[in-house]
């Protein structure tokens, strides 16, 4: 499995750092939704689903966490610990987010509005889905 991790350009000066993200320039899709999670409890794992259409970029803008990606054939764990790094998560990709530091803020840029019917929450259904649609992640290795 290939993993796409974007390294964004921080605009640093004596005041500190600033990262700006524009759709189709820094982010490979129109950004229709932004959400973020914080105060994640110790030992919590979130996710356990895939999406039929949704594409996302995950950025741990504070603290750290890990993302497990699974395309139905292979699994990879990607640490997110820099506010200027973004992990691309394609559709048809099972994801689990875990090992959150107490101060972690995981921000997600999403290509679609929230739509529960886009979720695949059953792992066997996911395996069936990727087998039939063959639409798995295309990305580059770290
Ligand atoms: C994903 C991973 C990375 C909304 O009302 N609107 C939203 O846009 C989202 C994302 C969630 N919600 C509600 C639905 C649930 O009642 O917030 C609650 C928690 O959502 P969920 O259990 O789906 O959260 P995670 O962390 O398991 O998954 C989320 C995204 O849902 C998912 O698309 O890829 O983060």
pLDDT digits (tens, 9 = 90+) for 77-135: 999 999 999 999 999 999 999 999 999 999 999 999 999 999 999 999 999 999 998 64
ipTM of the complex in this document: 0.98
Residues in the chain, total: 142
Residue 97 confidence (pLDDT): 98
User: What integer pLDDT is reported at residue 133 of this predicted model?
Assistant: 81
Residues 6+ apart with CB under 8 A from 47: 68, 94, 95, 96, 97
Q: Is 5-129 a domain of CATH 2.60.120.10? A: yes
> Which ligand 1 atom is nearest residue 106's CA?
3
Residue 114 Cβ contacting ligand 1 at under 6 Å: yes
What would the two tokens of residue 121 be?
């929450």
Our answer on whether the CB atom of 33 is closer than 6 Å to any ligand 1 atom is yes
pLDDT of 140 reads 35
């Amino acid at each position: 499995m290939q993993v796409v991790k974007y390294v964004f350009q921080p605009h640093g000066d004596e005041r500190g750092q600033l990262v700006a993200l524009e759709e189709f320039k820094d982010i490979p899709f129109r950004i229709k939704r932004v959400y973020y999670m914080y105060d994640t409890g110790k030992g919590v794992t979130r996710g356990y689903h895939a999406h039929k259409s949704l594409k996302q970029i995950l950025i741990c803008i504070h603290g750290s966490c890990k993302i497990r990606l699974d395309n139905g054939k292979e699994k990879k764990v990607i640490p997110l610990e820099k506010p200027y790094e973004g992990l691309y998560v394609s559709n048809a990709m099972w994801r689990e987010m875990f090992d959150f530091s107490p101060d972690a803020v995981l921000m997600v840029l999403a290509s679609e509005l929230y739509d529960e019917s886009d979720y695949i929450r059953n792992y066997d259904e996911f395996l069936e889905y990727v087998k039939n649609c063959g639409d798995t992640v295309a990305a580059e290795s770290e």
